[in-house]
Amino acid sequence: MARALNGSQQWYAIAADALLVLHVLFVVFIVFGLVLIFVGRFLNWQWVRNRWFRLAHLIGIGIVVLQAWFGLICPLTIWEMSLRARAGDAVYEGAFIAHVLNELLYYDAPAWVFVVAYTVFGSLVVLSWFWVPPRSFRVSR
């Protein structure tokens, strides 16, 4: 049963839900970005060679891999949980969308599983840099 939140708790809960959506969008960008890069190679989509898209993608997964290697928790997760604590939430009881997104994003597994998975995925992103190279950063004349 959902409980009533006061005004400030409600805003913290809304901010936590918004941050969860942002986190899921980041994960979607990283995962589907790589899929689109590979598909784009076969379909000759030139936009998948956009240097800014590719650099953002590479940096994004690089940050995730480094966090996993150093045993750090994602700042988005920390901020979301902090907002949920301020809202008085310990679990996802409220909004259905928040609950579903939480279930998709967070799951239980030993830490080494995430380190290996993120490292393998990051390696695929690095390999995609060479297999589907982005356009040069140099300005052509």
Q: For residue 84, give the H/E element and its range.
A: helix 75-86
Mean of the pLDDT values across residues 25-46? 96
Q: For residue 18, give the H/E element and its range.
A: helix 7-43
How far apart, in whole angstroms, are the C-alpha atoms of residue 41 and residue 45? 6
Q: For residue 99, give the H/E element and its range.
A: helix 96-105
Within 13 Å, how many C-alpha atoms sit on residue 36's CB side? 15
Mean of the pLDDT values across residues 25-36? 96
pLDDT digits (tens, 9 = 90+) for 38-60: 999 999 999 999 999 999 999 99
pLDDT digits (tens, 9 = 90+) for 78-113: 998 899 899 887 555 555 556 666 677 777 778 888
What is the DSSP secondary structure assignment for residue 74, as one 8-state letter?
Answer: P
Which one has a higher pLDDT value, 67 or 101?
67
Find all residues with CB under 8 Å of 136, minimum gap 6, and list them.
51
Given a cut of 90, whether residue 134 has pLDDT beyond it is: yes
Mean of the pLDDT values across residues 6-33? 91
Q: Which of 2-6, 50-54, 74-78 has the lowest mean pLDDT?
A: 2-6
Given a cut of 60, whether residue 140 has pLDDT beyond it is: no
Mean of the pLDDT values across residues 106-125? 88
- The model's pTM: 0.81
